[in-house]
Amino acid sequence: MLVLVAPGQGAQAPGFLTPWLDLPGVTERLEEWSTVTELDLVHYGTQADADAIRDTAVAQPLLVAAGLVAAQQLFAAPGDVGRLAGAAAGHSVGEITVAAATGVLAPEAAMSLVRQRGAAMAKAAAVTETGMSAVLGGDPDAVVAHLEKLGLTPANMNGAGQIVAAGTAEQLAALAENKPEKARVIPLKVAGAFHTHHMAPAVDTLAALVPDLDVNDPSTAYVSNKDGQVVAGGGEIVQRLVDQVSNPVRWDRCMETFQRLGVTGMIELCPGGTLSGLAKRALPGVRTVALKTPADLEAARELIADVTSAPSSADAVGVSSADQNAE
């Protein structure tokens, strides 16, 4: 079974969209979405520096646009994601990318929503100086207890020995000075304590937008960050997209669900790398392709062909469909 995944904030890098503009229609599509978001996505994806694209209000629309560009190159025909991928999931803002890729939201609606999400989260982050740090290694239960003792939130439970702590600058400084046993701490280049109570004002902003959204059920099994469960209804997916802004990301449980569904291959949309790295540690034996540049598309197409032509692939997809209907 093939799983399609989309990365979250922090995966972007200066100039990462440059090679994608060589593909037919990509520049035009980005210009259309630039109009929707009132951001020059071509500029931010090709010429802006690291500080400019670190801005939450910019980073989130840029990431969703990049993921959708890659998805549209890989899955050219309507319905291809549902036909070829047995499941899909996104990390944090990547959930919006996957919501569009699986047909829950139209691309333009997804771009409008993520623009509002990024702006609202940036505004919430400006109230107090906050941030996030990755904690690598250590006993997970001991790490969580240590973070909570310092007043930090385990905002991303990523699995594979990685937990992301979020909180105020003072709390993160205390963590850097007082690390959990047998763990390393790496500050992340994000501008806020995402997926914590600090983001509560952004939840209200997004909730007000939901009634105006045109929502469909996903074309394949949609695995939610909230708890790793497969969600069959588009309305519930959108509500979870709103709630997850201030709730922890349980990517560890998403990967557990992938394994339960019988995943054998994973493709990570642009800018790929982070989730593929986690999968290599947490899902040994699962083939992965991270879409970083258009040069990676051929390897992704080969993986799709191999996975979907394998004798067991139909059974694996059948399991995911049954699971989706049971939720």
Alpha carbon of 286 to those of 3, 30, 274, 280, 283: distances in Å? 10, 32, 15, 7, 6
Structure tokens at 36: 């929707």
Active site annotation includes 276: no
**H/E stretch holding 290:** strand 287-290
Report the C-alpha gap between 235 and 255 in whole angstroms: 23
Q: How many CB atoms lie within 10 A of CB 219?
A: 18
Report the C-alpha gap between 64 and 93 in whole angstroms: 7
Catalytic hit among 34, 91, 92, 320: 92
Alpha carbon of 311 to those of 104, 260, 305: distances in Å? 29, 18, 12
Catalytic hit among 34, 91, 112, 195: 195
Q: Which amino acid is at 88?
A: A
| Start-end of H helices in the chain | 26-37, 41-46, 50-54, 56-74, 80-84, 94-101, 107-125, 140-149, 169-177, 200-207, 234-243, 251-261, 274-282, 297-309, 313-326
Tokens 């979020």, located at residue: 166
Active site annotation includes 309: no
Helices 94-101 and 107-125 cross at an angle (nearest 10°) of: 170
Contact yes or no for 217/321 (Cβ under 8 A): no
Residue numbers annotated as active site? 92, 195
